């Protein structure tokens, strides 16, 4: 965790091992605000939403303020029927009693294996340990690190970001933690992300702001084209800083800060993609409509053939052109150009006459690079961050449950 990480005032953290994972791996996390916080969330669009997602949607619809977030890894509590929601309620009630807070202010998240009943007894044993670790020494630092580790599944590293935002009233802080490495696909990804701030934001403003931020960050990444049942991005604003932001300029500055945190977390997720060795920016420009640019961009970013070529450092631009062509967007092939960083590969829908295969391969040997696809038909553009697809991805997912 970076020494420069900014930790929000008024939030405490804990992470423990309760027995959901083998060995002594951390598997239960708690994020606690010192007062009820305005909340907004964006959830998966998967038609099989996990029980915590179903319950979380109801909380957001009711306009509940949130003070505590409990996250377990190792079990998704998805496809568990009515019992799954009952189990969420049981965990929330026990947590509320332990914290001496209202039940409706408890927010529950899960991530892990789908289709297995939630080991409620195991989790409840861990709740006491979590609450006991929330002492004054747990502010930020190692406690935040433990919470970030406790929500990981196939992640290789924890993901935390914290920044300060200057406003006309004073400085406010935004701290974010996230998990995600596989089943990463727009709308959203197999990830959990929590964006915390000590700024005061009116509850009616937060949902729209968060949706805009998610659309420009977590919804613009792809690892493998699979969408999880548990995806959740939750933001909490507790106002502990004493600065309630209402002026348009202050809200704009805050939203830019929130987007910065979300984008950094999104990038960490792609770089930590299961087995990934490359982080690739796919940028489509010159589209007649924004939707056209998005469709083509996602087709290329999610193509297994394109992603395996990235892994093999094979400058096979034909796979990219094929993905552009099957995306279903009306275009003029004779206008399309493709570049790997600054190396022009395709001009007018054909191999650029000056392109050398060695130059393209040199770009693909880099850990990070950009593929630019210029349609030369308009002014709109769209960008997605993706990764390569490797042998390790297969190995990880072939025995995920073992």
The pLDDT mean for the chain works out to 91
Say which of 80, 167, 175, 190 is annotated catalytic.
Answer: 190
Pick the CATH number of 279-398 from 3.40.50.1000, 1.10.8.870, 3.10.20.340, 1.10.1200.10: 3.10.20.340
User: What pLDDT was estimated at residue 401?
Assistant: 45
Higher-scoring residue by pLDDT: 286, 1: 286
Q: What is the mean pLDDT of residues 31-54?
A: 94
pLDDT at 400: 47
For residue 391, the model assigns a pLDDT of 78
* Structure confidence at residue 319 (pLDDT): 96
- Quick check: 187 pLDDT over 50? no
Percent of the chain topping pLDDT 90: 77
pLDDT of residue 191: 78
Q: Are 193 and 269 in contact (CB under 8 A)?
A: no
pLDDT in tens, 164-177: 999 999 999 999 99
Q: How confident is the model at residue 154 (pLDDT cuts 50, 70, 90)?
A: confident
Which residues are within 8 A (CB) of 118 and not within 5 positions of it... i.e. 6 or more apart? 51, 72, 75, 77, 80, 84, 87, 88, 91, 110
Model pLDDT for residues 338-376, shown as the tens digit of each residue: 999 999 999 999 999 999 999 999 999 999 999 999 999
Whether the predicted pLDDT of 185 surpasses 90: no
Structure tokens at 114: 């789908």
Q: Report the pLDDT value the prediction gives residue 402, as an integer from 0 to 100.
A: 39
Give the pLDDT confidence score for residue 186 in this predicted structure. Answer: 47
- What is d(CA 101, CA 387) in angstroms, rounded to the nearest whole number? 42
CA distance 328 to 81: 38
Average pLDDT value for residue range 312-323: 95
Residues 28, 72: contact at Cβ < 8 Å?
yes
Domain range annotation of the chain:
11-271, 279-398
**Which residue, among 328, 259, 247, has the nearest Cα to 292 in the 3D structure?**
328
Is 3.60.70.12 the CATH classification of the domain at 11-271?
yes
Whole-number Å distance between alpha carbons of 21 and 27: 6
User: Which range (188-192, 209-213, 328-332, 385-389) has the least confidence?
Assistant: 188-192
User: Which range is most confident: 187-201, 225-239, 251-265, 273-287?
Assistant: 251-265
More confident residue, 393 or 366: 366
Instruction: Find the mean pLDDT for residues 261-266.
Output: 95
- The pLDDT assigned to 396 comes to 59
**pLDDT at residue number 181:** 62
pLDDT given for residue 6 in this prediction? 87
Segment 298-325 shows an average pLDDT of 94
Of 90-104, 131-145, 255-269, which range is least confident?
131-145
pLDDT in tens, 48-89: 899 999 999 999 999 999 999 999 999 999 999 999 999 999
Of 222 and 30, the structure prediction assigns the larger pLDDT to 30
* Strands 171-179 and 159-166, bridge-based pairing: antiparallel
Active-site residue flag, 190: yes
Q: Look at residue 399 and tell me whether its pLDDT is greater than 60.
A: no
What is the DSSP track for 161-201?
EEEEEE-SS-EEEEEEEEE-SSSB-SS-BS-EEEEEESSB-
Rounded to whole angstroms, the Cα distance separating 283 from 296 reads 9
Band of residue 284 on the pLDDT scale cut at 50, 70, 90: very high
Given pLDDT bands bounded at 50, 70 and 90, which one contains residue 189? very low
């Amino acid at each position: 965790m970076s020494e420069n990480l900014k930790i929000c005032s008024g939030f405490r953290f804990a992470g423990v091992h309760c027995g959901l994972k083998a060995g002594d791996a951390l598997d239960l996390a708690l994020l606690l605000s010192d007062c009820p916080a305005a909340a907004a969330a964006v959830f998966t669009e998967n038609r099989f939403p996990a029980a915590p997602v179903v319950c979380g949607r109801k909380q957001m619809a009711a306009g509940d303020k949130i003070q505590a977030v409990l996250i377990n890894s190792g079990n998704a509590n998805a496809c568990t029927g009515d019992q799954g929601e009952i189990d969420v309620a049981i965990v929330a009630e026990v947590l509320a009693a332990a914290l001496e807070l209202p039940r409706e202010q408890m927010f529950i998240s899960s991530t892990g294996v789908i289709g297995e009943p939630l080991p409620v007894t195991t989790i409840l044993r861990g709740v006491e340990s979590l609450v006991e670790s929330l002492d004054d020494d747990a502010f930020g630092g190692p406690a935040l690190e433990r919470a970030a580790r406790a929500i990981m599944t196939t992640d290789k590293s924890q993901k935390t970001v914290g920044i300060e935002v200057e406003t006309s009233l004073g400085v406010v802080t935004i701290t974010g933690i996230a998990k995600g490495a596989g089943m990463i696909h727009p709308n959203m990804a197999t990830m959990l992300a929590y964006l915390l701030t000590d700024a005061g934001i009116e509850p009616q403003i937060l949902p729209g702001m968060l949706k805009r931020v998610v659309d420009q960050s977590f919804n613009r990444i792809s690892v493998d084209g699979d969408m999880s049942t548990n995806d959740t991005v939750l933001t909490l604003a507790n106002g502990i800083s004493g600065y309630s932001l209402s002026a348009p300029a202050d809200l704009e500055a805050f939203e830019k800060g929130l987007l910065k945190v979300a984008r950094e977390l999104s990038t960490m997720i792609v770089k930590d993609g299961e087995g990934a060795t490359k982080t690739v920016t796919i940028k489509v420009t010159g589209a007649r409509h924004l939707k056209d640019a998005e469709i083509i961009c996602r087709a290329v970013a999610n193509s297994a053939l394109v992603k395996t070529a990235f892994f093999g450092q094979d400058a096979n631009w034909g796979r990219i052109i094929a993905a552009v062509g099957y995306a279903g967007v009306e275009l003029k092939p004779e206008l399309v150009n493709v570049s790997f960083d600054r190396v022009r590969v395709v001009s007018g829908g054909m191999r650029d006459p000056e392109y050398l295969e060695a130059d393209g391969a040199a770009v693909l040997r880099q850990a990070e690079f950009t593929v630019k696809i210029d349609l030369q038909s308009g002014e709109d553009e769209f960008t997605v961050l993706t990764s390569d697809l490797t042998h390790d991805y297969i190995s990880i997912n072939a025995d995920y449950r073992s």
